[in-house]
Amino acid sequence: MLPRSLQRIVLTLVTTLSLAFASAAHAAENVTEFFLDNGMQVVVIEDHRSPAVVHMVWYRAGAADEPHGASGVAHFLEHLMFKGTDELESGEFSRIVEANGGSDNAFTSWDYTGYIQRVAADRLDLLMEMEADRMRDLRFADEEVVTERSVILEERSERVDSSAGGLFNEQMRATLFHNHPYGIPIIGWRHEMEELDRAALIAFYDAHYWPNNAVLIVAGDVTPDEVRSLAEEHYGPIPANPDVTARARPQEPPQIAERRVIYEDERVANPYVARTYLAPAREPGDQRRAAALTMLAEILGGSGQTSVLARQLQVEGERALYSAAFYDSTSYDPSSFNLVNVPVPGVTLEEAEADLDRTIADFLENGIDPAQFERIKFQIEAAQIYEEDNVQGLARSYGVALTSGLTVEDVDAWPDVLAAVTVDEVMAEARRLFTETSSVTGYLVQPAPESAAEEVTQ
């Protein structure tokens, strides 16, 4: 592999592969779960090696919960959360966190919106006071809404419109998900973002930002008793909203036609072919299929030298610069399984697609190398050790799971479920996945050279 991995080429498609194994490390020992009277779920992860604490509030609301036509409002609201409340001036939240030596940030996905701060453990009280304040008391000043809308439009320009891969990825998702809002970009479609206003923000805020729709995760140098007492003091007084119910988004109809996306962009340096399939995600109490698919992605594309795609396409065939398989196991509704092949110069995308198909067909025919299977199982075991070193990552994996319909028990069981997956289960999932028609095949290409285009018109 390379110092600067070629993953950069398809960065917008690749969800971090290391997340594939994201799980819980010896969870039972240092993870505690409880609920406040108002329904707020609380998870405490103890790690006393360093006197720091990570404080996160996750809302079970993301881009896939937006009203139709208001794409981007979940993320827009995330930005507004740093503006004024009835207690805090605009920007004061971050100023106080920084003045206490902390860092803070936030993130929005389709299934969740999260707010995170990292500070010395003795500042937890202050953080909770401020986070509880902005759960219900945001002010939404008009001039701030207008200025911040410019900022998110600039963010869209930077993250998506400035990147051929970003635009391609957006088109791929929109094609994979016909009916489910997972097909709508988190940042929003520009024409809808331009129309977002104060009323749209307040409507989303009032529908979703309630303690019974939130998960509090505190990880680091704290005890569950300390967290319970602080959480009861700060979050406890906020009333639950009985109107908050489980999410029910429009689901995909049977997908009976294969679909294709061809996106041309003059900024493309390395054309590639991508294929994405609808795939089941981890279900509460039933994670076997997702575990098998996680293993499948690792077997097919988890390593630049030893995985099936890399071996056949990059090393032996020398027909690919880069290849990958990745799968998003943790998602409220069914997610996607993805393949990518970046061919070497001289190999067309049609040929690259045929290479991909042939490799998958050979895999279905020949099955899994038992030695590779054992190596991956050992790596999953070791991942639990390495993950203990990264308490923030651990906290995040709980946050993603608990806002994707899973329980703490599911998170705790995940490593064991992965460890129990058999070769037969993986092959069964592979056959099911690759014989279905619910896939999208996409080409990201340079436009045809101008001289050729002129010849055609002449």
Partner 1 sequence: MIPRILGLVTAAVLLLPGIARAIDIQEVTSPGGIQAWLVKDDSIPFVAIDVWFNGGASLDAPGKRGAIHLMTGLLEEGAGDMDARAFAEAVEGLAASFAFDVYRDALTVSARMLTENRDEAADLLRAALVAPRFDEDAVERVRGQVLSIIDGDARDPDEIASQTFNALTWGEHPYGSPLEGTRESVGALTRDDLAEAHRAVLARDRVIVGAAGDITAEELGLLVDRILGDLPETGAPMPGMADYQLPPGTTVVEFPSPQSVALFGHEGIARDDPDFFPAFVLNQILGGGGFRSRLMQEVRVERGLTYGVYSFLGLSEYGQTLGGRFSSSNDLVAEAIEVIRAEWTDLAENGVTDEELEAAQRYLTGAYPLRFDGNGRIAGILAGMQADGMPVDYIATRNDRVDAVTAEDVRRVAGRLLQPENLHFVVVGRPEGLEPSN
Sheet holding 103-108: strands in order across?
31-35, 41-46, 214-220, 52-59, 113-120, 103-108
Q: Choose the binding region for partner 1 from 58-66, 141-149, 245-253, 350-358 (rule: CB under 8 A).
A: 141-149
Considering only residues 75, 149, 173, 275, which one is a binding residue for partner 1 as defined by CB under 8 A?
Answer: 149
Q: Is 49 in the site for partner 1 (CB under 8 A)?
A: yes
Q: Which of 29, 33, 66, 78 is catalytic?
A: 78
Q: Is 3 in the site for partner 1 (CB under 8 A)?
A: yes
Q: Is 6 in the site for partner 1 (CB under 8 A)?
A: yes
- Closer by beta carbon to partner 1, 42 or else 383: 383
Cβ neighbours around 8 below 10 Å, total: 12
Q: Is 366 in the site for partner 1 (CB under 8 A)?
A: no
Number of amino acids touching partner 1 (CB under 8 A): 73
By CB under 8 A, the residues from 95 to 124 that bind partner 1 are 95, 98-103, 118-120
Where does residue 162 rank: exposed (0-12), middle (13-18), buried (19+ CB within 10 A)? exposed
Q: What is the DSSP letter of 122?
A: G
By CB under 8 A, the residues from 154 to 213 that bind partner 1 are 154-155, 157-159, 161-162
H helix count then E strand count, the chain:
17, 11
By CB under 8 A, the residues from 284 to 323 that bind partner 1 are 303-306, 311, 314-315, 318, 321-322
| Closest separation in Å from C-beta 443 to partner 1 | 17
One DSSP character per residue, 307-375 reads SHHIIIIIIIS--EEEEEEEE----SS-EEEEEEEEEPTT--HHHHHHHHHHHHHHHHHH---HHHHHH
Helix (H, G, I), strand (E, B) or coil at 392: helix
| Closest separation in Å from C-beta 278 to partner 1 | 30
| Closest separation in Å from C-beta 344 to partner 1 | 6
Q: Is 55 in the site for partner 1 (CB under 8 A)?
A: no
- Closer by beta carbon to partner 1, 56 or else 176: 56
The answer to whether residue 78 is catalytic is: yes
What letters, b where the CB count within 10 A reaches 16 and e where it falls short, cover 193-222? Answer: beebeeebbeebbebbbbbbbbbbbbbbbb
By CB under 8 A, the residues from 229 to 288 that bind partner 1 are 266-270
Q: Is 420 in the site for partner 1 (CB under 8 A)?
A: no
> CA-to-CA distance for 258 and 256, rounded, in angstroms?
7
Q: Annotated catalytic sites, by residue?
A: 78
